[in-house]
Amino acid sequence: MTDTFHLEFTVNGRLRVLDIAASHTLLDVLRDDIGLTGTKECCVVGECGACTVIVDGRSVNSCLMLAAEADGADVLTVEGLAPSGQLDALQQAFLDTGAAQCGFCIPGQLMSARALLQRTPHPTPEQINEALAGTLCRCAGYEQSRQAVLAAAEEVGS
């Protein structure tokens, strides 16, 4: 018999209450139990960053975190950046700079960048590189992403 866990947490501003398999990761719950597939599943061993979400203001690899550890937490996923369907400044900047090619890494990059801008509204290029280093991109490289984060920081901070 599978052990279950009663999970209550907030995802993108909405309270979620559900019984999950105790072994499920946060990534499993977001994608399979809640249906938020914007968070990508790739290596599932903490190497690629495609599964990055923000938990209580901190970017985490959701494939490495048991969902039970998120009990009571406030989780933001890529779907939460545009709740009304209108792109936020960061998403628009990624689009404008051409950072999004195949797009697979972009949710993770966006969430890493969002976490950075929340704690450091005017980051240096080095801080941006450091924030994005955990999310692997095989298509566009990082220059466009770095430019996008700088542009978003200027727009939000201006």
Q: Which is nearer to ligand FES, 36 or 106 (CB)?
A: 106
Q: How far is CA 35 from each of CA 11, 30, 32, 39, 79, rounded to the nearest angstrom?
A: 12, 6, 5, 10, 11
Among 65, 113, 132, 137, binds ligand FES (CB under 6 A): 137
d(CA 38, CA 109): 12
Q: Compose the 84-113 pattern: x for residues touching ligand FES by CB under 6 A, - for all others.
A: ----------------xxxxxxx-------
Kindly tell me which of 39 and 73 has the beta carbon lying closer to ligand FES.
39
Minimum CB–partner distance for residue 14 and ligand FES (Å): 23
* Residue 46 interacts with ligand FES (CB under 6 A): yes or no: yes
Q: Which stretch binds ligand FES (CB under 6 A): 29-37, 47-55, 70-78, 85-93?
A: 47-55
Find, among 138, 128, 148, 126, the residue nearest to 102 by Cα: 138
Q: How far apart are CA 76 and CA 81, in angstroms?
A: 8
Between CA 73 and CA 98 the distance in angstroms is: 33
Q: How far apart are CA 134 and CA 112, in angstroms?
A: 8
Q: Which residues bind ligand FES (CB under 6 A)?
A: 41-44, 46-51, 61, 63, 100-106, 137-140
